[in-house]
Every structure is written in structure tokens, then in C-alpha cells.
Amino acid sequence: MAGSRSGDTHKHAVRGVSLPDEVVELGVWAVLAVAFPPLPDPHGEEGDGVGNVSETARKKIAQRYMPGLDTLLDGAVRLRNEVRDGRRLAISLGRYEKVRSGLAAANQVASRPGQAAWPPGAQTVAARLGGGSWADALRALGVSAETGGRARGSGSLANHDFKAALAAFFHDCGEGGGPTTYSAYCAWVQEERANGRHRPSGSAVRQRYASWSGALAANG
């Protein structure tokens, strides 16, 4: 878990480094394709999108995800093409993680220590495609980031800020095998802030949900 073991800061800085860029991007498009299914092809040519995925990328993904992989990749590529052709999409970090969690629940490949998950979590996407920024990562793919909350510089935190922070924290705990305790969250917030990502403090989270247990119950 971030901030709980020596060397974790370095791991955090190279989050998802074992995944090639193509694999990270396909993971994002796979999640988006579940949230926003590709439009029906008027020529009935659905099913050919996976042909645009390199064999190297497919093998990397197959090590991490199995059920219905080709169908998932086909939808990912088709949606990517639709966005490149002008289709507009917007998704929040919280919704991305919710959809991704659904895919992860259907994943029949046993997790392996030290192996990055696929589809990648929002924090991995932000680090690999957006220089640490979720919005910039989506922008690089031609997708908009729904904020649903405060503008930068606002003195107040919206509900989205808390949900997004806790979703990211739980994801990091899942990848690193760390505890989802209050003290662990506080340590994680310090590391996030050191890397330029503002997160609600532990005390702010407890105030919002009345207790840390309440935060876990509302977001878990």
C-alpha cells in the first residue's frame, strides 16, 4: 500500500510500467465501451475491431483478462474509432472505477503478485497517459472528464472529490495488498499530495461520513 513500505514511492511513480501504452489505452477503451456501447454498424460489420489490436498487446492482456476478451477488445476498438470520428464522451473517475470493478469481478484470471491489473485503474491511467492527471489522460484520448464537483482553487470539496479519492485509495490498496484503515488513508493522502494530486484529508473524510467506518460503508 502506498506509503506503508519502503520503496513504494518509486513503485507509485512508475505505476503500471509493465503495461505497454497500447495495452493501457485499450484498457481505458474497454471500460468506456461497457459504459458507452459502440453504435450499431449500419453495414453489419461488427466484430472486426479486434483485428486492429496487435498480437503483442493481445497476449499481454490475455495474461490478465480472459472471459469474452475478443468481444471486449472489439467493442473497445470500435468505440475508439467512433470517438476519433467525432462521437463525444465524458466520464468521471468514480464512474470509470465502478465500471472497471464490474469487469474485474468477471475476470477469471487469478491475480499475480507484481503484475499490473487490466483494465488499468484510474490512477494507472492518469500516471501513464496524463502525467498524473486523470483529466489530461482522458483528453489525450479525445474523451472529456466529468468532474461533478468543484473547480480548481475552490475552497470547498464536492461529494465527487471524496468518492474519487476513496475509489483511488481502495484501488491502490487492492494492487498493493495494503489495509484500508484510517491511518493508511492519511499516509496515502500525503504521498498523493507530494505527487501533486490533491485529496481530501482523513479528518475531512471522517467529518463528511461521520466516521471512517461510515466512509467505508458508503464507498465500499
pLDDT at 154 over 60: no
Mean pLDDT of 101-127: 80
Q: Where are the beta strands (DSSP E) in the chain?
A: 90-91, 144-145
Percent of the chain past pLDDT 90, that is, above it, reads 22
Q: Which three cell numbers stand for residue 156?
A: 470547498
Residue 148 has what pLDDT?
46
Q: Half-sphere exposure of 175 toward its Cβ, with a 13 Å CA cutoff? A: 23
Q: Which three cell numbers stand for residue 109?
A: 484470471
Choice between 180 and 44, residue whose per-residue pLDDT is larger: 180
Task: Estimate the crossing angle of helix 212-219 against helix 159-176, to 10 degrees.
Answer: 90
The pTM for the full model equals 0.60
Closest CA to 19 of 93, 106, 128: 128
pLDDT digits (tens, 9 = 90+) for 69-90: 989 999 999 999 999 989 999 9
Mean pLDDT of 13-31: 80
Task: Give the confidence band of 30 by pLDDT, cuts at 50, 70, 90.
Answer: very high
Task: Give the confidence band of 199 by pLDDT, cuts at 50, 70, 90.
Answer: confident
Choice between 62 and 105, residue whose per-residue pLDDT is larger: 62
Closest CA to 51 of 79, 77, 27: 77
Q: At which residue does the C-alpha cell 491511518 appear?
A: 183
Percent of the chain past pLDDT 70, that is, above it, reads 79
Q: Half-sphere exposure of 29 toward its Cβ, with a 13 Å CA cutoff? A: 28
Q: Is the peptide bond before 119 cis (omega within 30 degrees of 0)?
A: yes
